[in-house]
Amino acid sequence: MHNFIQQLGIKELNPGVSIGLNWLSSAGEKITSYSPVNGKEIAAVTAADKASYEAVIAKAQQAFTEWRIWPAPKRGEIVRQIGEALRAKKEPLGQLVSYEMGKSLQEGYGEVQEMIDICDFAVGLARQLHGLTMHSERPGHRMYEQWHPLGIVGIISAFNFPVAVWSWNTMLAWVCGDVCIWKPSEKTPLCGIACQHIVAEVFAKNNVPEGVSCLIQGGREIGEWMSHDTRVPLVSATGSTRMGKAVGAAVGERLGRSLLELGGNNAIIISEHADLNIAIRGALFGAVGTAGQRCTTTRRLIIHESIYDTVKEKLVAAYKQLSIGDPLNESNHVGPLIDTDAVKNYLHAIEQCKTEGGHFIVEGGVLEGAGYEGGCYVKPCIAEAKPAYKIVQHETFAPILYLLKYSTIAEAVAIQNGVPQGLSSSIMTLNLREAEQFLSAGGSDCGIANVNIGTSGAEIGGAFGGEKETGGGRESGSDAWKNYMRRQTNTINYSNNLPLAQGIKFDL
């Protein structure tokens, strides 16, 4: 076993259910984690069964009654210490992210840095969480609103950001006074074990009630239990649109709250007024970073007809420079896909694109031979396509880039918006008028719209998420914290009278 794995408290077989530092035994199935880097088994966890799930819910409910009355800045102090603990563990945790998920080492460290950044953000927030005051229409009355904790926040996360997404949710939820139950992706269970170890130690040192941080491992059925559970007022789910529709329906049916962060189909418009150096860099990073497995990956380039051939040539040249291989080796740009199912989806998408009339100018394919034994390394590829192709409308979680041509800016925006998803979008232009059109109410319909930077690489300070089939949720910065609290309007009468609404009078 690698050193970094041991440093994070991971064993051969790990209990998959935990309430703080208290690891529970469970009769759930065994989930084995394989590294996409080399196909080798890393370690295994036991999934939650119904009994351990119930134990977790009970402890979380109990912890909430205490945690919700801790002053928010004191909760912030705990999150500050978690940020310090993450700084101390940045290296091994980043290495684990890279090894278990397959993203490059720099991206693994970058993901842990995002966790540290959201801790810092949440610490400041702990002294804010402010409501408004309003002027009452009644004499001698005061009216204001305040924000209270919600209760248990259930977090369902995807494999591609195996630790950051959890931290975006938990750090805010904790300063807001909520308690969290996390179900990580069954493809990256060890990242969950590592985070729970780091956090639970900080909690134990500070006498935080154990149930404030809980971990339940398992597949989709565990997510389904949470989605149907009225004891979980908020379910924050990150993953595919298919999953989000199921979670949204189950939570909605019981009138609970869901926060959905789902698939994207992100495009960059490259105008004839673009700085092409910036445009090509942005497109390349967006399309091949994390081997095309970011929700914000650039999947479509919408290119002005006058520069289409130039952009095409530059992209083909840039793709020739890419080195594909072990993500722990920092000289490689592109690592593996998460598993062989993902490779099948990639191959299927290439075939479908060809069937619909697409023409590949950079061919795809699966790499074989020394260093590629795991079977998960694929070539990033580029196809010339049409906006209406079914495959272009669909998010394939792999490095396939579609080139589309436009002649007017109105047409480019219509193509950009003409997909079911609405996460991230960008325009490359030095023309102020078209940049503003793109950002206006008549422009991009996405949750994220950028000018002269690509579609991926969002900062934690902004609210993150998207519209339409992306689910409508917003996480991380800005006022996303409001998702984790309930708003209460308070009216206080400090007069000697009780004026009734609508001027109604009782002769008493």
- Which pair of structure tokens corresponds to residue 58? 């009970």
Residue 120 has φ and ψ, to the nearest 5°, of: -60, -45
| Antiparallel, parallel or unpaired: β 257-261 and 266-270 | unpaired
Q: Please state, as a whole number, how many other Cβ atoms lie within 10 Å of the Cβ of residue 296.
A: 24
Beta-ladder partners of 257:
234
> Residue 410: what are its φ and ψ, rounded to 5°?
-60, -40
Q: CA 158, CA 190: separation in Å to the nearest integer?
A: 13
Of 129 and 480, nearer to ligand NAD (C-beta) is: 480
Q: How many residues does the chain have?
A: 508
**Piece of the chain touching ligand NAD by CB under 6 A; list 171-179, 205-213, 259-267, 357-365:** 259-267
Among 68, 90, 220, 486, binds ligand NAD (CB under 6 A): 220
Question: Which of 201, 224, 339, 384: binder of ligand NAD (CB under 6 A)?
Answer: 224
Position 158 contacts ligand NAD (CB under 6 A): yes
The only residue of 67, 99, 147, 161 in contact with ligand NAD, by rule CB under 6 A: 161
> How far does the chain reach from its first CA to its final CA, in angstroms?
81
d(CA 328, CA 39): 14
With b for 16 or more beta-carbon neighbours within 10 A and e for fewer, the 109-131 pattern comes to bebbbbbbbbbebbbebbeebeb
Judged by CB under 6 A, does residue 470 bind ligand NAD? Answer: yes
Shortest distance, CB of residue 294 to ligand NAD, whole angstroms? 7
**8-state DSSP, 35:** -
Single out the segment in contact with ligand NAD by CB under 6 A; choices: 216-224, 314-322, 375-383, 432-440: 216-224
Could you give the 3-state DSSP secondary structure of residue 9? Answer: coil
What are the structure tokens assigned to 485, written together? 């609290």
Given the complex with ligand NAD, which of 52 and 238 has the nearer CB atom?
238
Complex with ligand NAD: residue 219 or 462, whichever CB lies closer: 219
Candidates 14, 104, 227, 426; binder of ligand NAD (CB under 6 A) is: 227
Of 239, 214, 207, the C-alpha closest to 75 is 207
Q: Is residue 455 a contact residue for ligand NAD (CB under 6 A)?
A: no
> Which is closer to ligand NAD, CB of 85 or CB of 463?
463
Instruction: Name which position in 43, 57, 247, 301 contacts ligand NAD (CB under 6 A).
Output: 247
Residue with tokens 């700084």: 87
- The residue from 23, 99, 159, 406 that contacts ligand NAD (CB under 6 A) is 159
Q: Does 203 bind ligand NAD (CB under 6 A)?
A: no
Q: What are phi and psi of 214, to 5 degrees?
A: -125, 150
3-state SS class at 365: coil
Q: What is the DSSP string of 184-214?
A: --TTSHHHHHHHHHHHHHHHHHTT--GGGEE
Q: Which of 100, 111, 210, 261 is catalytic?
A: 261
Angle at which helices 220-228 and 241-253 cross, to 10°: 30
Looking at the Cβ atoms of 158 and 328, the one nearer to ligand NAD is: 158
240 belongs to the binding site for ligand NAD (CB under 6 A): yes
Instruction: Give the count of residues interacting with ligand NAD (CB under 6 A).
Output: 29
| 268 phi and psi angles, rounded to 5 deg | -115, 130
Of residues 239 and 256, the one with the C-beta less far from ligand NAD: 239
Site string for ligand NAD, 113-132 (x = CB under 6 A): --------------------
CB of 259 to ligand NAD, least distance (A): 10
Q: Which is nearer to ligand NAD, 158 or 460 (CB)?
A: 158
Measured from the CB atom, is 211 or 264 closer to ligand NAD? 264
Query: What is the Cβ-side half-sphere exposure of residue 491, based on CA atoms within 13 angstroms?
Result: 13
Q: Which of 223, 256, 282, 336 binds ligand NAD (CB under 6 A)?
A: 223
Contact set for ligand NAD, span 170-199 (CB under 6 A):
183, 185-186
Question: β-pairing, 381-384 with 359-362?
Answer: antiparallel
Residue 261 among the catalytic residues: yes
Going residue by residue from 263 to 292, which x/- string records binding to ligand NAD, judged by CB under 6 A? Answer: xx----------------------------
Q: CA torsion sign, 205 to 208 to 210 to 211?
A: negative
In the complex, the residues that contact ligand NAD under the rule CB under 6 A are: 156-161, 183, 185-186, 219-220, 223-224, 227, 238-240, 243, 246-247, 261-264, 295, 395, 397, 423, 470
So which residues are the catalytic ones?
261
